[in-house]
Structure 1
């Protein structure tokens, strides 16, 4: 199978790891898009999709983020101690 070209967009899910530095902060506070080059499309907490404004939600350990971004950015995120890519 051919590897995607750099810059190709993809969707992935990532879980906030236990002890993550992201816990208690919002995606906006973290500058998540700038740091990861990925856009957060949704947040799921305890099997429920959160319907409030994403930028206002304080992240908790175990939250699942639906992310859209370049494939190469997700490769870089695999080494993060703060997120577990699924």
Structure 2
């Protein structure tokens, strides 16, 4: 899943909010199973974690990760963000 940011400042602020505990709570995945990659030239964060079902299988309900990304979009941000 990718999270796009407007600029480097916001990218760093978002990275500061995405710790293992927060991601574990949002996605019901053990916190040590996440990999977070920063792509600064594009102001993007890539978050990888194992899926319950293989992507594209009959049981997969989020083929492109859009529903996973929506959980991040709904995350409450601090007042000073």
Normalising by structure 2, we get a TM-score of 0.41
The higher radius of gyration belongs to 2
Normalising by structure 1, we get a TM-score of 0.39
Considering fraction of residues, name the structure with more strand: 1
Specify which structure has the bigger relative contact order, considering alpha-carbon pairs within 8 angstroms and separated by 6 or more residues: 1
